[in-house]
A and B are shown apart, each in its own frame.
Chain A
């Protein structure tokens, strides 16, 4: 029988990463993700791992860079302003092709903003954020269980692609307590060897972990290699969920916490006989464009409503897919305000 544990989202993410083989965590306090740091501080020593409370988010991401370069599974977490500070390091991780697991429990911005939940870091997460042409594998979970599952998967995918993975949560997902079921511990000894890692030559040729290519021809070649890898990721890693979307004439598109609220709205509207469905991107990069395109291509969907806790970010990706075939409307709350199911229902009925 599955064992269920009642656990806070932040702590569950930490435990999931440890079970996926992550034994090195470097972080800096910022609300609303402090429980990740606190959990790691006692839990990692229990399993023979290393926890360091760094002097800054910048130092933390660079400790991750060092540990990842030395071939171990490493992780950091933060919330919006702290992720902004980590972006240079994230760009370096991508440039040097180092795996890492990063969690952003998003809060409202810009600036110091608020400690309440938001989705206003979508652009930052999926469009780059840091400098250079790079991509992260970005997951947008809607529950504590899904956060556990996607973190567990993400740690492995990061190693597979030698690329950072970002879990884009928010203040609600970090603070909420839900029953969760954890996967068993990954055997560290069973993890694939990393012949590229800098661990001392030990008689072999030297390894160099580096993102500098001074010759433009070399740097373009390096970029071509990275883009080919991102294309592989785009081909393989798209994830989404549809809820009553098959016969819907109005399709709501939302991710994370907002998708969870929209789920309730869709159920309520269906009970009243409204033909409404929900499309929920689970991977935010790569965006599940082909699945959405297929839904919109049936001709049944007459209008799309994108709901986000920001001023309208993912809606741009939805509009790219819709490409003018159906009107794409947007409803957003900002600055830590969370929409209610009734609020969303009103938006939908106004469109129908």
Chain B
């Protein structure tokens, strides 16, 4: 018999606390698969953030550091500068990376910190019970926007990749929805490229994974996947935004957003 699929060895063999239908599990697996493939597990230091993935340090079998809310890229900066030989990554949600930690994210990118950021965009604060995130879609109902997010009241959702595209210290930037096998394979490629950029010393790399939160959204897992493809991916276009340092929007699939 031939093994066609197995759990990565560096992912803990235990149930996670993630809800049914949540794509955190897929994202964790992809990170572990890539790090094993790159054969760097022994020199990985991961930084867990605050949010649903706060317990990531329990699931990844690498040296791990738990960071204060929003500060993962600052913590990763300290680690990477102290131990340049380590492969350093952060794993952050949209509240952590794009709300409270926006300054840390952008300045780590501007410094061209040689780190890899895994960014889970599920358009909601999952861990705290489904409040509005900076990436919550217009019209989306959350526990703090019960009538739906309205631009005049709550402003507009932030497009992180498009914003970071203008930052010269960025070496690799991609957005992929975790919605079907084809996209999961693309996400794996993007994560691999993001770690390769770091290993080659090219600078800041970030992969935004459009993810589901069936519980927070009040949708079944299947409907949640469809919502990512139909609603989120429309506002957050997938693709590679930057594949070389100092070369924003020069990516193979990069799509500068038109404001006309």
- A312→B55 CA distance, assembly (Å): 43
Contacts of B103 in A (CB 8 A): 55-56, 59
Contact B44 A65 (CB under 8 A): no
Binding stretch for chain A, among B68-76, B147-155, B240-248? B68-76
Contact A26 B78 (CB under 8 A): yes
Contact B104 A66 (CB under 8 A): no
Contact B86 A208 (CB under 8 A): no
Q: Which of B43, B66, B68 contacts A202 (CB 8 A)?
A: B43
Q: Which of B55, B60, B71, B87 contacts A65 (CB 8 A)?
A: B71
Contact B45 A63 (CB under 8 A): no
Q: Which of A67, A207, A208 contacts B82 (CB 8 A)?
A: A67
In the assembled complex, A2 has its CB within 8 A of some CB on chain B: no
Contacts of B66 in A (CB 8 A): 96, 208-212
Interface residues on B, range: 35 or more
Beyond A59-B74, A63-B74, A210-B57, 12 additional contacts (C-beta under 8 Å) are: A24-B81, A54-B107, A59-B77, A62-B78, A65-B67, A66-B47, A88-B68, A89-B68, A198-B79, A207-B64, A210-B64, A210-B65
In the assembled complex, A344 has its CB within 8 A of some CB on chain B: no
Which B residue sits closest to A73, measured CB to CB? B82
Q: Contacts A67-B82, A74-B82 known; A62 to B74 CB distance under 8 Å?
A: yes
Contacts of B184 in A (CB 8 A): none
Contacts of B85 in A (CB 8 A): 200
The 10 closest A-B pairs by CB, nearest first: A66-B78, A200-B43, A67-B78, A62-B74, A66-B75, A62-B71, A198-B63, A55-B107, A63-B78, A70-B82
In the assembled complex, B62 has its CB within 8 A of some CB on chain A: yes
Contacts of A210 in B (CB 8 A): 57, 64-66
The chain A residues found within 8 Å of chain B, CB to CB, are 24, 26, 50, 52, 54-56, 58-60, 62-72, 74, 88-89, 92, 96, 198-203, 206-212
In the assembled complex, B54 has its CB within 8 A of some CB on chain A: yes
Q: Which of B42, B83, B111 contacts A201 (CB 8 A)?
A: B42
- A207→B61 CA distance, assembly (Å): 9
Q: Contacts A55-B103, A200-B42, A201-B62 known; A24 to B68 CB distance under 8 Å?
A: no
- A207→B57 CA distance, assembly (Å): 9
Contact B78 A68 (CB under 8 A): yes
